[in-house]
Amino acid sequence: AQSVAQPEDQVNVAEGNPLTVKCTYSVSGNPYLFWYVQYPNRGLQFLLKYITGDNLVKGSYGFEAEFNKSQTSFHLKKPSALVSDSALYFCAVRDTTMNRDDKIIFGKGTRLHILP
Partner 1 sequence: GAVVSQHPSWVICKSGTSVKIECRSLDFQATTMFWYRQFPKQSLMLMATSNEGSKATYEQGVEKDKFLINHASLTLSTLTVTSAHPEDSSFYICSAPLVKGVNEKLFFGSGTQLSVL
Quick check: helix, strand or coil at residue 62?
helix
> Taking the alpha carbons of 19, 60, 84, 73 in that order, is the dihedral positive or negative?
negative
Considering the rule CB under 8 A, would residue 103 count as an interface residue with partner 1? yes
Neighbours of 75 (CB within 10 A): 17
- Please, what is the minimum distance in Å from the beta carbon of residue 101 to partner 1? 6
26, 44, 64, 72: which one binds partner 1 (CB under 8 A) = 44
Catalog residues that contact partner 1 under the rule CB under 8 A: 4, 9, 32, 34, 36, 41-46, 49, 51, 90, 94, 100-109
